[in-house]
Each structure stands twice: as C-alpha cells, then as structure tokens.
Structure 1
Amino acid sequence: MRRVTHRFLCASLFVDIGASLVLWAGVPLLAQTPAPVDNAQTAADAPMTVLHMNVKLVNVFTNVTDGTGAIVGGLTKDDFSLKEDGRAQRIAVFERQSELPLNLVLAIDTSGSVRKDLPLEQDAARRFVHVLLRGQDQISLLEFSTEVRQVVAFTNQANRIDRGLSSLRGGPATALYDAIYLASQSLAPRQGRKVLVLVTDGGDTANTVTYAQALEQALRGEVMVYSIIDVPIEASAGRDTGGEHALITLAEQTGGRYFYASDGGLDKAFNQVSDDLRTQYLLAYYPTHQQPGMNFHHIQVTVPRATAESFNIRYRTGYYSDPGAQ
C-alpha cells in the first residue's frame, strides 16, 4: 500500500481486552477447568490475530468569494456543510489559511502559437515565484511544446527557477494534456497542497493524452489546476475556444481557478493565483456511510447560512476510491 502521511492513515491494531488478556487465534477465551499451561510456550506457538484497518482522511481545500469576487475570510467550521454522494459528513479537520507546504508545478506553453508572449510570461513568472515561495514550499518548472520537459525539479530556491525560465526552448506543437497528466503524476506522491499553474492558449495538438485522462490524473493526484489563458487578441480565427473551455472546466473540476491574461495582464493573473493559495480553508473528513461499489465519490461543500448567490465556493468535485494506474 502506498504510504501517504496526511491523506491515508494505516494502522495495525493489536487487540487487547481488559488489562492483560490477549486474544490469540485458536486459544479459547474461557475454559471451565483451566489446565496448567506453559504461557511462554503457548504465546510463542500460537499465531497472533492482527486486524488491519484503513482510515482515509479526505482533504478538501476550499476557496470562498462573494458576488464581487472578493475573498471571504473569517468563516468557521460551523459555517460549512460537507456531503459525500449526498450523505452528510462530519468535518474532522478545519484550518483557515492553511500553512501546509505548497507543492507547485509551473507549466509554461512554449509552442509557436504563444511564442510572441514568452518574454512577458518569463518575467511575470519570475515575480510570481519570488512572491509566493516560502520556506516550506517546493516549486518545479515544466515547459511543453512538441514534448514535455521538466526544466527544474522541485526546489525551494527561487534563483534555480529564474535560471530555468531563462533556458526555455520552443517547438511547433502543443502537448497540453500530456503536460497536465505528467505534472499531476509528479505531484501525486508529495505531501501538503498540490497545485499546477498552466500558462497556455489552450490548444492541444499532440493527441497523445486525452482531456479525460488528464482530468482523471489531476483528480487522482488531488491537484488543483490554475489556468492562465493567453489567447490572441481580437483574432478569433486563431483562438482554440474548445481548448479554452477545457482549461476552464479543468480548473472548476479540481478546485482551482482560471484567468485570462488579457484581463489586466499576466502579473494580475499570477497575483490572483497567489492570493487564492494564501486564503484557502482546509476541510477534511473521514468518509462514513459510503455506498459500496462506487469508484468516484462526489463532494459537495456549502455555507448553509448564505444564499446560493451570496458566495462562490470552489473545491474539487470528488475523488477516486480505487488506486488506479499510477
């Protein structure tokens, strides 16, 4: 079994009844006429009954904004209601502005369709990394065009990301879904929050990994996807609106967010990602009353005291209960 410290807790329970009575397989608990036995020999020969129990803590990182888009802080555990597959769940862990480590993959599209904006993307990404990175955080840099390349492995040193950004190289095609899939794979085994920030125009021309496969891998890895969409300005013929829609849906399904670079520039988009990651609520629960045989479990988070229009609540839509292909 894969060991994941925060999300999966595995315990082997040694059954102890009363002060000193130990349950052994094949040994009666009660006997009317106990016969003298060699306790040490009996204990050595009899197999011990060990119970294995998997206790799965499901983490739901949640962002709440009001109707104007302003971040809603100050909510308490009692303000939230959480359900899995329509069944109410008890929130076991609640944190505001979580200090959990942040593991982030910054993935930049270097294909021909966005190459004209690459210098602006590099400069904005440098500023983003220097503002965001804390002592407990790790960032990896990835570029994708015809193929996906990890430029910098996970690091806590902003200057390494700086050098990596200066070494980006391009290619004609765009392996967008491959990038999402591989980045999610690299994030899956890491501890703490897992985030993928994509800078792209949304086109995928590699046709290796499908959108459905990329989304499933992100959900399995508990990866929040933030899409910064850089599209041609006033050139609808050059826009891949299907790709843009895919990036929007991907962000919504994983609890992330999407931004258009044209709405205030790349710096504004990166700043909004940074603000989002600093103002998250962590709601975690141990699933109860699960319906057997279900592979994907849907999550619903609400703030009952508010009307549906008052708050925009963002979180991942669910999780897979089977291990799946890694």
Structure 2
Amino acid sequence: MAKPMRARFSRRQLLSSTAALLCASSRLRGQDDATFSTEIKVVNLLAVVRTKKGEIISGLSKNDFTILENARPQTIRYFSRETNLPLTLGLMVDTSMSQHRLLDAERSASFHFLDRVLRENTDQVFLMQFDMAVMLRQALTSSRSQLEDKLAYVDTPTRNELALQRGGGTLLYDAVFQASREIMMSQRNRKALIILTDGVDTGSDRTLSDAIEAAQRADTLVFSILFSDPGAYDFSLGEPNGRRVLERLAKETGGSFFEVSKKQSIETVFSLIEQELRSQYSLGFVSDQPVRVSEFRTLQLNTKLKGLVVQARDRYWAQR
C-alpha cells in the first residue's frame, strides 16, 4: 500500500513542479522580450579632422561635432580621442605581374610599418595577396614574426600558375569583398584595410560597388595606395583608371587615398597612414529612428569650428 501512495504523491509533485516551471518560463520569456525590445544599437564612426591645408587636428571635444543621420540631427553619446583602442588591420598586396618589380619595396615598407604600429596582444593583422586568385597568406595575428615570415612569401604567380590560368589577372574587387565579408564583418575593433595596388581590376566576379558596400557594411575604412610601375607591361583589359577606383574605395569608406611617386615614397605613405591611425576620433550615437527595414542610411559628420574638414564615412548599414 505504501508504494501507490508514494506514486500518487510523486504525480502531484510532478504536476506542481511542471506548473512552477511553466510560470517561471513565462516570466523569463517576458524578460527576454523586454530585453529584445529595448536593445540599444550604437552607430560608431571613426573620423580624422584636418585644416584645409591637410594638417591633422587633435584635441577637439564631443561638443565640437554634429552628426546628421538621413539629414536628422542625432545626439553624440560616446566620444573618445583615445588612440589606444584595439586595431584590426588587413594588409592587402597586389601580386599581379604588373607589380613584379615593386614587391621588394612593398614587402620592406610593409614590415617596417607593422613593426611600428602593431601592438602585440592588443592589435591584430591579416595578410592577403591577390592576382588571378585571392589568397589569405596569414590569418589574424598579433605576432610580428609570423607576419614577417608570411610577407616573405608574397610574390607574383609562377609561369606554371600563369599557364594554368591562361594569363594574368587582378581580382582587386573580389579581394576587398572577401576581406570585408569573411574577416572584418565579425570584428568589433577599429578596422581598416590597407591596399597596395595599381588599382586595375581584371577578372573579378564582384564589382567596385560590391566591394565598397561590403566594406561599408563591415564598418571598415580603406586606405588605398596607388603604387604602379610605369615600365611594366600592361597585362590587363580591366578598369584603366586605377586612381579613380582607389579614390572611390577610400572616400566612400571614410579612409584615405595615397599615391607613391618620386616626391612621396612608399615609406612616407605608410608614415602618413600611421599618423592618421593615431589621430582618429571615435564617436557613437543611438539613432532616434527605429529600424523597420534593413537599409543604408546617410551620415554627415561636421565640426562647428570653421576652416576644418572632417573625414568620415558618409553612410552605414542599419540592420533590423
């Protein structure tokens, strides 16, 4: 007789416990719904401020800036002049045949730049090369030695590789698209791509607009460096105006365009990029416009001070 009593008691206990769990689950779901409905999405911008002569200005405060989103004023909630924020960099090197005679200089300048800029255990860098294919030489790392080792292997295609591909190619747009979508999208630090190329794309599946949009969605600046060899044979049948391509990549992502010339060496260009990275302002706002549909929204960051020019991206992807 004792066993049935225990069994009946057990069933009552089970029913009581189940009811309690359902009530608790209901309360938890209510908490989850409340959390979801009040989720705060911060829109972050990185900016550099210059005089009209190009001199970088530091020392500005939050009150010196204004932000418009879709032409509507927004309140700047977060502001920092700190240059110690973690940095995620992508170093991307054009290794098509037109760049063959420039690679030694590119490798040397790249390593010295990383040696000065990279803070081990704080910053991360990946190394990518592109020609008739896109190749990730080194995944994200904080190790200078790993990057130096992999830079040594950045080179133009062999004759056998060219023969297999029936000629050359420069998948610039594909490289920017892949770097942005597959690497930068998941990163949450300051993000920038540094691209060494003559700007001529041949053979990419993606367009220039695709590449720019991917970088914008990943909140990634592009520093484009036009480095061309006037004596190189033109293997390409692609976009002839490399300058125009690289200027667009930089301008529409909030980065900068540079050109290596007799007056400005590759080492000088890297020094200018280093200075810019160390002089960025970080600003953030929470939009007062609900995101009902995922879309691009325009941004306009200005300073209240006369005679200064603000360099920042002009739109962002508002994710629902």
Q: TM-score, normalised by structure 1?
A: 0.81
* Within-5 A mapping of 1:106-125: 106-125=91-110
Unaligned runs of 5+ in 1: 1-38
Residue identity matched to 1:71: I
User: For 2:190 and 2:291, how far apart are their aligned partners in 1?
Assistant: 28
Determine if the alignment matches structure 1 residue 270 to structure 2 residue 256.
Answer: no
Tell me the amino acid that sits aligned with residue 94 of structure 1.
F
**What residue number does 1:23 align with?**
none
How big is the shift at 1:162? 0.9
Aligned mates of 1:66, 1:78 — CA distance in 2? 18
Give, in whole Å, the separation in 2 of the partners of 1:138 and 1:150. Answer: 14
Would you say the 8 A contact 1:138–1:156 is kept in 2? yes
Residue aligned with 2:149, SS: helix
User: What residue number does 2:124 align with?
Assistant: 138
Deviation string, structure 1 residues 260-310 (Cα, Å, up to 9, x no partner): 01141100111111111010000101011358557111111111231xxx2
Cα deviation code 1:83-131 (max 9, x no counterpart):
1011111111100033211000100000011111111111111111101
Q: 2:211 aligns with which of 211, 214, 222?
A: 214
> SS at 2:204's partner residue?
coil
Q: What is the one-letter code of the residue matched to 2:178?
A: L
User: Does structure 2 retain, via aligned residues, the 8 Å contact 1:188–1:194?
Assistant: no
1:237-256 to structure 2, matched below 5 A, reads: 241-256=240-255
* Residues 44 and 162 of structure 1: CA distance in aligned 2, closer, same or farther (over 3 Å): closer
Partner of 2:258: 259
Report Cα offsets for 1:34-79 as digits up to 9, x if no partner: xxxxx99976544222322231001000001112211101111100
Separation in structure 1 between the aligned mates of residue 123 and residue 22 of structure 2, nearest angstrom? 50
Which residue of structure 1 lines up, in the alignment, with residue 71 of structure 2? 86
**How far did residue 321 of structure 1 move?**
1.6
Q: Which moved more, 1:242-251 or 1:115-124?
A: 242-251
**What SS class does the counterpart of residue 276 from structure 1 fall into?**
helix
Equivalent-residue separation in structure 2 for 1:291 and 1:107 (angstroms): 34
Task: Name the SS of the counterpart of 1:279 in structure 2.
Answer: coil
1:173 counterpart = 2:169: yes
Q: Indicate the RMSD between aligned Cα atoms, in angstroms.
A: 2.4
Q: Deviations over 1:244-264 (max 9, x none)?
A: 211111101111101001141
Tell me which structure has the larger Cα radius of gyration.
Answer: 2
1:208 Cα deviation (Å)? 1.2
Corresponding letter in the other structure for 1:79: D
Q: How do 1:174-213 residues align onto structure 2 when only pairs under 5 Å count?
A: 174-185=170-181, 186-213=183-210
Contact persistence 1:108–1:199 (CA under 8 A): yes
TM-score (normalised: structure 2): 0.82
Contact 1:197 / 1:225 at 8 angstroms: preserved in 2?
yes
1:316 is displaced (CA, Å) by 1.2
2:133 is matched with 147
Distance 2:294 2:136 in 1: 35
- Distance in structure 1 (CA, Å) of the matches to 2:202 and 2:253: 23
CA distance in 2, matches of 1:150, 1:236: 26
Aligned counterpart, 1:16: none
CA contact (8 A) 1:247 1:258 kept: yes
Q: Percent identity?
A: 30
Partners of 2:98 and 2:234 within 8 A in 1: no
Q: Deviations over 1:222-257 (max 9, x none)?
A: 110000111244999899553321111110111110
Cα distance in 1 between the residues matched to 2:315 and 2:233? 34
Aligned to 2:287: 287
> Does the C-alpha gap of structure 1 residues 69 and 236 become closer, same or farther in structure 2, counting only changes over 3 Å?
farther
* Larger helix percent: 2
Paired residues of 2:172 and 2:204 also in contact (CA < 8 A): no
Which AA in structure 1 matches 2:271? N
CA distance in 1, matches of 2:178, 2:45: 22
Aligned residue runs from structure 1 range 94-113, under 5 A: 94-113=79-98
Distance 1:292 1:234, change over 3 A: same
- For 1:230, the equivalent position in structure 2 comes to 227
- Counterparts of 1:138 and 1:108, CA distance in 2: 17
Q: Distance in 2 between the 1:207 and 1:305 partners? A: 43
Q: Distance in 1 between matches of 2:17 and 2:76?
A: 46
For 2:47, the equivalent position in structure 1 comes to: 62
Alignment partners' CA distance in 2, 1:238 and 1:230: 16
CA contact 1:105–1:139 (8 Å) conserved in 2: yes
* Counterpart AA for 2:282: L
Counterpart of 1:272 in structure 2: which amino acid?
A: L
